[in-house]
């Protein structure tokens, strides 16, 4: 095991996949000479050259269309969109091209590309640079969506995403880039898409979380333990495809569910998971599913106000206690 920051684990995954497969190349705003706004691509242009690590103009719509056509012609592009807030500009290429071409051509066309981006609040980046738009992309059939919460998963999931033959939206969180953790070494150490992770075992309530909210959920589980409540934390990791078996198995044990996601409440990803639980686990539930999300509003620039609206451990504890009442 090597001790790495989350950003370094992503960098290692890109380096290993570019070394293994010459058809993998990177492009995006400021990813070459500057090494990316969060330094995920630091040093890769010097190592692999300008043809495989390309700086681009600011045009998310054009870049995503370029990723689609490059993937169709046999390469494996990895596109970086600097902020998830700008994903709406990529939607035409994702909705009307990337997600449907394999279906339209009956499997004759593969679409192996990765769209990396980062989002989330808590950094004082205000309403245009802090969103979590998970549900916007997870809503699209034919698009896979993952959101790693640890350095090990960041590396293993990114390697799997690059090797996948379908488009994968890879959601990172800006507050996780400096998180350190042990990362398995080896070119073929992968984390499969569609597999959740048991972050903490428990027996009284299941907390299903994504991205940075996994760590807030683990803090909440510690606080609940002090009250004599055993909380299980499931890191969904793969938003789509979803590991339904992991969800069903946990609820069959605890009979209570809390869903935590940093996106908006109305039509959000937590709403989808709550409905999925009601569809598949209703007979195992002792209480309605609780959701902990962002309220339906822009993220404030003021730090006290931003902290007040973001989901956190305290709110997860409160939701868990209400579920168990």
Catalytic annotation, residues: 129
- Residues paired with 231 in a beta bridge: 205
Distance from chain centroid for Cα 97: 22
Dist CA 108 CA 10 (whole Å): 31
CA distance 240 to 272: 11
Residue with structure tokens 């090597």? 2
Residue 287 to residue 255: CA distance in whole angstroms:
8
**Cis? peptide before 27, omega within 30° of 0:** no
Instruction: Count how many residues are written for the chain.
Output: 325
Tell which residue, 227, 215, 196, has the closest CA to residue 310.
215
Q: What does the block give as tokens for 101?
A: 């071409």
Q: How far apart are CA 198 and CA 153, in angstroms?
A: 13
Task: Collapse the DSSP code of 273 into the 3-class scheme (helix H, G, I; strand E, B; otherwise coil) and give the result.
Answer: helix
Run of H or E residues at 114: strand 114-119
Residue 265, classified by CB atoms within 10 Å of its CB into exposed (0-12), middle (13-18) or buried (19+), is: middle
3-state secondary structure of 238: strand
Tokens representing residue 57 in the block:
């103009």
d(CA 118, CA 242): 20
């Amino acid at each position: 095991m090597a001790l790495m920051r989350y950003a370094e684990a992503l960098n290692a995954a890109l380096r290993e996949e570019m070394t293994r497969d010459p058809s993998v190349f990177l492009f995006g705003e400021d990813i070459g000479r500057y090494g990316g706004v969060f330094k995920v691509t630091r040093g890769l242009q010097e190592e692999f050259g300008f043809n495989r690590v390309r700086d681009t103009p600011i045009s998310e719509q054009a870049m995503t269309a370029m990723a689609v056509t490059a993937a169709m012609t046999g390469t494996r592009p990895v596109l970086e969109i600097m902020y998830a807030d700008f994903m709406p500009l990529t939607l035409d290429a994702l909705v009307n091209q990337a997600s449907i071409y394999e279906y339209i051509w009956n499997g004759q066309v593969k679409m192996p590309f990765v769209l990396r981006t980062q989002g989330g609040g808590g950094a004082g980046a205000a309403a245009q640079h802090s969103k979590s738009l998970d549900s916007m992309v997870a809503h699209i059939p034919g698009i896979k969506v993952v959101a790693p919460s640890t350095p090990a998963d960041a590396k293993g999931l990114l390697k799997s995403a690059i090797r996948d033959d379908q488009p994968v939206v890879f959601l990172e969180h800006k507050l996780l880039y400096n998180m350190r953790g042990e990362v398995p070494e080896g070119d073929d150490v992968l984390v499969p898409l569609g597999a959740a992770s048991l972050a903490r075992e428990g027996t009284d309530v299941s907390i299903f979380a994504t991205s940075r909210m996994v760590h807030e959920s683990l803090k909440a589980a510690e606080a609940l333990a002090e009250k004599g409540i055993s909380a299980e934390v499931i890191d969904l990791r793969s938003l789509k495809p979803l590991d339904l078996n992991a969800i069903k198995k946990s609820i069959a044990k605890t009979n209570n569910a809390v869903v935590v996601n940093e996106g908006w409440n109305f039509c959000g990803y937590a709403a989808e998971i709550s409905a999925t639980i009601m569809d598949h686990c209703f007979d195992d539930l002792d209480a309605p599913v609780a959701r902990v999300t962002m309220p339906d509003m822009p993220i404030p620039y003021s730090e006290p106000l931003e902290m007040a609206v973001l989901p956190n451990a305290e709110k997860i504890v409160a939701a868990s206690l209400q579920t168990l009442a």
